[in-house]
Amino acid sequence: MATEQAIGIDIGGTGIKGAIVDLATGELASERTKVRTPKGGRPADILDATRDLLDQLDERGRTKLPLGVCFPAVVKHGRTLSAANISEEWIGLPAEELFEQELGREIHFINDADAAGYAESRYGAAVGAEGLVILTTLGTGIGSAFLYDGVLVPNTELGHMEVDGVGAETRAAYSAMEREELGWDEWATRLQRFYAMVEFLFSPDLFVVGGGVSKHHEHFLPLLDLKTPIVPAVHRNNAGILGAASLAAH
Ligand code: BGC
């Protein structure tokens, strides 16, 4: 029996990664390929880099498998509407249409945290979870995804919620910890303010924490005092790829 597959591409501030995904298992069906995000993160340059990456994927990658692309911005009806950590040329751009025209294939363009959240709900930490699951990714920014009984409510952007008068990601993203050389407990104090506010506003049933730093969850998750269970993501750096591929196919 032929396995159903799709390609996922995750465009980030430093790298663009992609792979072919086995949709039944959520495992990668090819090597993960990565190219550097061009300096400035402008649409035309990112498009060229994405084309290179697709060419590097094997033969099947260049055929017409469904292709999902996730990106660190609000994406509504295929248009990128924000640009927090990427070139402002993306604001208002019909990105999905542009990529489809230039790459000559159908594409599903979505927010990166939404892709990661969908991946965790289908193949990871939130499989079978009932009620409201909120996934947050802690990286350069803070991304968020809401899933209610497994159904994605896109473009939630909790990283831009104001906490103590400042956009949450400015103080509590992993990049803030690095930039300000915070210790785990100092960073956890900021995370506590953020998650407590999100918990108060949305009463979730489960928090899932993604992003590369979730690999070190034992240093900061136990420091948080919340009523809601909070668990690390399973897929971390591959979650965007898995979710983008999976959403493209469904
Ligand atoms: C962006 C989000 C994105 C998150 C993680 C934020 O700055 O506004 O759209 O999901 O970073 O990349």
pLDDT tens digit at each of 250 positions of the chain: 445 999 999 999 889 999 999 999 999 999 999 999 999 999 999 999 999 999 888 665 566 799 999 999 999 999 999 988 889 999 999 999 999 999 999 999 999 999 999 999 999 999 999 999 999 999 999 999 999 999 999 999 999 999 999 999 999 999 999 999 999 999 999 999 999 999 999 999 999 999 999 999 999 999 999 999 999 999 988 999 999 999 999 8
SS3 assignment, position 159: helix
Spatial contact of 228 and 199, defined as CB atoms under 8 Å apart: yes
Residue 106 CB: number of other CB atoms within 10 A? 12
Cβ atoms of residues 214 and 224 within 8 Å = no
25: buried, middle or exposed (CB in 10 Å: 19+, 13-18, 0-12)?
exposed
| Residues 17 and 56 both lie in one domain | yes
Q: How far apart are CA 5 and CA 14, in angstroms?
A: 26
Same structural domain for residues 28 and 102?
yes
Whether residue 167 is contained in a domain is answered as yes
CATH classification of the domain holding 151: 3.30.420.40
| Residue 209 to residue 232: CA distance in whole angstroms | 5
- The verdict on 104 and 11 lying in the same domain is yes
Q: Is residue 123 part of a domain?
A: no
> Which residue, among 239, 211, 210, 241, has the nearest Cα to 5 in the 3D structure?
241
Residue among 88, 112, 214 to mutate when testing ligand 1 (max atoms within 8 A of CB)? 112
> Structurally, how many domains does the chain consist of?
2
Asked if residue 221 and residue 162 are part of one domain, the reply reads: yes
Q: Residue 27 belongs to what domain range?
A: 5-114+238-249
User: Is the same domain home to 133 and 177?
Assistant: yes
Is residue 153, in this structure, part of any structural domain at all?
yes
* Atom 11 of ligand 1: nearest residue by CA position: 141
Ligand 1 centroid – CA 63 distance (Å): 30
What length is written for the chain? 250
Is there a single domain that holds both residue 226 and residue 183?
yes
pTM of the model: 0.96
In a domain, 121, yes or no: no
Same domain, 13 and 109: yes
With a Cβ cut-off of 6 Å, ligand 1 is lined by: 72-74, 82, 84-85, 111-113, 137, 139, 141, 143, 157, 159, 169
> Quick one: 243 and 152 in the same domain?
no
Phi, psi of 95 (to 5 degrees): -60, -45
